[in-house]
Structure 1
């Protein structure tokens, strides 16, 4: 890279940041990703085999854990922006993660921290359930590990990007960041999971703790080279202020004069870039100046919960405009969460041997999604996008990419239903409906097509969502825009947990012995939900108008842009 000439070891008077920080941040992220994948990918199997948890309950716990892991990054981003900064949040989170994994490793090491194993093929009613102390240690370890992973995953990305001044260098960093994420995830989901399944859980979880410690060491060793971001305050505070100010001024009549609105301490009509728009114009009241709102001496805000800038108002409007599109992505992620947990349960009841001596760990089956996504990202970037640009003379828009992801996700659920129908036919042929734990003589490789389709779909809709939110969110919310993806994934996993619980209560499709269930009907239901959600997405995307692109007369400053009520 050309940036080598900029490499230097800073001293007391030298500039911090730059590419000298990359080995430390990359080493930290790879170590922490290896650690999290080592326990997260195989959690369902661990709960079933070592804690005698029923299969569907184990899937539910896994969904909740995945939801927490993707919810905590939002909390971590807010804390980093508002109080501590990225480095301290990442460091503290890595320590918490290490404590959690150590507790999980202890449950695999000490016999007193887990129940006695069930005999193969026995009914769960004759298995010894975990005691309260065993559940307490297990759930405490999971909670700490979730908090730790959530606090480091996106915070390290922000911290890494902050080390570079040039957008080109930031782009190179993000490319390597995602490459490191997929590579480390694939290694942990295969190598560490294989060790857990075929050697011992103690060694596998012990390796997770060791890699977590190595990642933490890399992070701390690079401290003297980092550029530390200063907490700027949470942007959500400004959004809440807009709502409060609008309510407090709900009886105020709006003016058509732009001078009557507040643009900041040094704002003037000649410097105005953002003007009050007609859409959601009732929110313009939050920026309407009334007596006592602003100090006459310097133009600063006197009552922050009664007056806001137009920029804050337009930021909230942007969120309101994009919310329908954002909500459609929740029901795009929910089927993926359900499929992930059910696929592991299906793999446990299928022949996972490749040759006479090697057996694919059930927890590793999902690594195909990572592999297909990685390959598809390269094909899309190097082949499909250039072809599309030659044919249409324009690049595919974020909304078009997301739309393709919707279609591929629906196809993935349909293939999942067909594969499960075939698996159940084989199970019925061998009379395995009432024999829990017995493996159906059908290769687990039949699960690969559905996982590959979902992975290809993620290669379309995941970058599409990142591009859409980053492009459309106002400047003050650029960091929050990437966290919105994490929030979608978190809600999707929580919703998948609720839907599985609903299906269990209403139908008989998901018994503890899946050989006697109808998981194929669950997938067909997801196909129906996916089609309806795709129709909702098409409606939202057709009505949506890009905000941060070249605009015509909409940006004109005048009475028509403001409107009155």
Structure 2
């Protein structure tokens, strides 16, 4: 009788853990999907916003967007160092979510508040005033915040989702892990299609105020869903950074550069 009760408890515990894992995958999947729709939806029409709203030439606007993309990719290195050495994936993703949210709200405010961008061009003289340093600072601050968010979210989302699977307790998790990767990349594809169609359509038909407001609202849901699932996540602690070990090797090699080889050494072995 006691054995039957123990087996039932083990089955209940296993089912409860599986439900917890599914809930954590669900909240993480919603977070990733909303973030993709929000961030990718801002990219296609941004060059037109810079040209029409800030009166920038296409060359200058393209350069700014190129630098933003380059910084976003470079920030992944900073995010990896921060995640592996100090904060862990959960805190870095949470930091990136808040940073992206603030950046999207700020770019939305540039469309909502007239003082945040230059006035419209004069229809009679076709003269356009350039953006002031303060207005450009607000614009570049929004880009910087979104770049930090991209560098702290995108490199770790799939790894953080894989952390939720504990192979030791459930031998079937290998199959579930493969399913997770399939659904992850499928959600990225669907999110990209929605961002490049629906969000772009909203911007074209309803204007920048609504077109920038929808991604900001989606990012609010993304951040809330991620934080609501905090108690369900498996949070892997930060470890010693690979950069620290690499620098230590360089320092030791530099200090040992003047050491003499031991006698009777083999040139083939040492060189």
CA contact (8 A) 1:21 1:222 kept: yes
Higher RCO (C-alpha under 8 Å, 6+ residues apart): 2
User: Which of 172, 177, 180 is 1:170 aligned to?
Assistant: 177
> What's the CA shift string for 1:476-497, capped at 9, x where partnerless?
xxxxxxxxxxxxxxxxxxxxxx
CA 1:191–1:7: 2 relative to 1, 3 Å: farther
> What's the CA shift string for 1:489-517, capped at 9, x where partnerless?
xxxxxxxxxxxxxxxxxxxxxxxxxxxxx
Long gaps (5+) in structure 1: 256-558
CA 1:127–1:154: 2 relative to 1, 3 Å: same
Give the aligned partner of residue 197 of structure 1. Answer: 204
CA 1:7–1:197: 2 relative to 1, 3 Å: farther
Give the aligned partner of residue 563 of structure 1. Answer: 269
SS in 1 for 2:258: coil
Give the aligned partner of residue 65 of structure 1. Answer: 68
- Aligned partners of 1:148, 1:242: CA distance in 2, in Å? 32
User: Which of 181, 185, 188 is 2:188 aligned to?
Assistant: 181
CA contact (8 A) 1:9 1:225 kept: no
> What's the CA shift string for 1:124-181, capped at 9, x where partnerless?
xx31111222112111111111111221111222211111134543333222222222
CA 1:141–1:86: 2 relative to 1, 3 Å: same
1:103 and 2:103 equivalent? no
- Aligned partners of 2:13, 2:181: CA distance in 1, in Å? 19
Q: CA deviation at 1:16?
A: 9.8
Q: CA deviation at 1:52?
A: 0.7
CA 1:243–1:63: 2 relative to 1, 3 Å: same
- Aligned partners of 1:219, 1:141: CA distance in 2, in Å? 22
* TM-score normalised according to structure 2 size: 0.84
- Aligned partners of 1:199, 1:235: CA distance in 2, in Å? 48
- Aligned partners of 2:162, 2:69: CA distance in 1, in Å? 25
- Aligned partners of 2:73, 2:102: CA distance in 1, in Å? 19
Q: Write the mapping of 1:230-379 to structure 2, written as runs, cut at 5 A.
A: 230-253=237-260
User: Which of 223, 230, 233 is 1:216 aligned to?
Assistant: 223
Give the aligned partner of residue 51 of structure 1. Answer: 54
1:152 and 2:153 equivalent? yes
User: Which of 94, 97, 106 is 1:91 aligned to?
Assistant: 94
CA 1:134–1:6: 2 relative to 1, 3 Å: farther
- Aligned partners of 1:242, 1:46: CA distance in 2, in Å? 49
Which structure: greater helix fraction? 2
Deviates more, 1:103-112 or 1:159-168: 159-168
CA contact (8 A) 1:253 1:564 kept: no
* TM-score normalised according to structure 1 size: 0.42
CA 1:17–1:70: 2 relative to 1, 3 Å: farther
- Aligned partners of 1:198, 1:7: CA distance in 2, in Å? 51
Long gaps (5+) in structure 2: 1-11, 168-173
1:36 and 2:43 equivalent? no
- Aligned partners of 1:186, 1:117: CA distance in 2, in Å? 32
CA 1:77–1:130: 2 relative to 1, 3 Å: same
Give the aligned partner of residue 484 of structure 1. Answer: none
CA 1:252–1:134: 2 relative to 1, 3 Å: same
CA 1:137–1:29: 2 relative to 1, 3 Å: same
SS in 2 for 1:117: coil
- Aligned partners of 2:235, 2:195: CA distance in 1, in Å? 30
Give the aligned partner of residue 76 of structure 1. Answer: 79
